[in-house]
Amino acid sequence: MKIGTKLSLGFGLILLLVAILSVLIVTKLSGMNHEASHIESDLANKVRVSSINTAVKDNAISSMEMLLITDSDLNNKIIKQIEERNQSNAKLIDTLSQDLADSEEDMKLLAEVKKHRTLYVSGLERVIGMVKAGKHAEASYVAGEEMIPMLAPFLKAVKNLDEYQGSKVDASSKQIQQTAGSIRNTALLVGSTVLIIGLFSAISIIRAITV
């Protein structure tokens, strides 16, 4: 075989392998970008669910303060804070309903959050109405019957949704790590193959010249 032919074959194989490597890397990088967008979305959802969780706990504390305090001005400030948190949570839940609509499991968990929130907020609003009317004794009784028992199931539902968002973030992170490892291994394999082909081509050319 002529030297020119050997050179053409050797460099042709090298270029082919480089092209294959490029295609594989681009494909896997596209997959990584897809997973990265998933992580970004899941993180944003987790932050919103965590905000809901924090607001619910803050409202639970504020509602207890409201029942213990008889100063109407101070109670009005506390009630305003509670109502603002409730409004903020309602907006966050609405955005989650839109962003999680494609996931059956997410919507199932979110439905539980909505159900228990409705029960808890209903009791809370009734207690607030009684406090505003100056009926603290009645408010305390209703709180024990219709508000406080609804808090634990509500927090549990929020926690379940929060943990599921965290599990999705972890899964996407692991997928990105696996993809990155696959890209590295592919590059090493193809690079090693290119090196071997180049070495054999060089040896063949040297032999052809010296023989």
Report the pLDDT value the prediction gives residue 197, as an integer from 0 to 100.
Answer: 66
Nearest to 46 by CA among 173, 180, 179: 173
pLDDT of 210: 58
Contact by Cβ (8 Å): 82, 124: yes
Q: How far apart are CA 139 and CA 123, in angstroms?
A: 10
Please, what is the Cα angle at 65 between 62 and 67, to 5 degrees?
115
Q: What is the pLDDT of residue 6?
A: 58
For each of the chain's 211 residues, which pLDDT tens digit applies? 565 665 566 667 666 766 776 676 666 666 666 666 677 788 889 999 999 999 999 999 999 999 998 888 999 999 999 999 999 999 999 999 999 988 899 999 999 999 999 999 999 999 999 999 989 889 999 999 989 999 999 999 999 999 999 888 888 777 777 777 776 777 677 667 766 766 666 666 666 555 5
Residue 164 is predicted with a pLDDT of 93
pTM value > 0.75: no
Res 14: pLDDT: 65
